């Protein structure tokens, strides 16, 4: 049995306008696999045969497997999938998180000590531009992790994560010295 996509391609080739409309509608409202052209911000492009219900997960995985994190901050990538046969277009903005830098021990120990500033009851937390910045420090290596939450122009708030290796190294060294005394 032929797929809806195959039948639609045949109807287009036969210039059967009524059947084309009927099959476009059927394909658009089905979860049958079909060919999608997927593009991202950096002119990356791939063509995949996917079900409509698999598309969002595929785009997220595709973006996250790319090399977006040359820097140490979250990148937001606009990804667009288009089904040429039906004219459907699906757009998503996907967060590509930076890789967490290595620590001098196995795992980072993220904390918010008083030297980060902010309120005494909530060190490292600051209100900025309608959002919130949260600074944390690895108590082993002094790496800084900043999580910024900001309103966005195109919908929900966006959360950015940024790492700065050794940013608090002096403060951590001073704390360790104080503990030894």
pLDDT in the model for residue 181: 60
C-alpha to C-alpha distance for 144 and 126, rounded to whole angstroms: 15
User: Is residue 34 over pLDDT 70?
Assistant: yes
DSSP assignments along 11-37, one per residue: HHHTT-HHHHHHHHHHHHTS---EEEE
DSSP state of 73: B
Measured CA to CA, the distance from residue 135 to residue 118 in angstroms comes to 9
| Tokens 């104080």 belong to residue | 178
Structure tokens, 71? 């820097």
Q: What is the reported pLDDT for 56? A: 92
Long-range contacts of range 156-165, CB-CB < 8 Å, 24 or more positions apart?
157/131, 158/76, 158/95, 159/74, 159/95, 160/73, 160/74, 161/73, 161/74, 161/97, 161/98, 162/72, 162/73, 162/74, 162/98, 163/72, 163/73, 163/98, 163/100, 163/101, 164/72, 165/72, 165/101, 165/141
Q: Would you list the domain boundaries of the chain?
A: 4-96, 110-180
Q: What is the pLDDT of residues 68-81, one digit of tens each?
A: 655 678 888 899 99
DSSP code, position 66: S
Report yes or no: 39 and 80 within 8 Å, Cβ to Cβ: yes
105-164 per-position pLDDT tens digit? 889 999 999 999 888 888 999 988 888 999 999 999 999 999 999 887 776 788 899 999
The predicted pLDDT at position 68 comes to 66
């Amino acid at each position: 049995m032929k797929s809806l996509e195959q039948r639609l391609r045949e109807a287009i080739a036969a210039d059967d306008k009524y059947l084309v409309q009927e099959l476009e509608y059927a394909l658009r409202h089905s979860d049958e696999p079909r060919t999608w052209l997927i593009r991202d911000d950096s002119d990356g492009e791939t063509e995949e045969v996917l079900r409509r219900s698999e598309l969002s997960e595929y785009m997220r995985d595709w973006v996250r497997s790319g090399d977006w994190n040359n820097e140490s901050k979250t990148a937001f990538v606009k990804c667009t999938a288009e089904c040429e046969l039906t004219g459907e277009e699906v757009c998503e903005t996907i967060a590509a998180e930076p890789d967490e830098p290595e620590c001098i021990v196995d795992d980072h120990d993220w904390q918010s000590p008083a030297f980060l500033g902010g309120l005494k009851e909530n060190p490292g937390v600051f209100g900025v531009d309608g959002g919130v910045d949260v600074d944390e420090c690895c108590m082993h290596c002094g790496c800084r992790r900043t999580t910024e939450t900001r309103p966005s122009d195109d919908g929900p708030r966006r959360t950015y994560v940024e790492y700065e290796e050794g940013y608090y190294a002096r403060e951590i060294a001073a704390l360790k010295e104080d503990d030894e005394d």
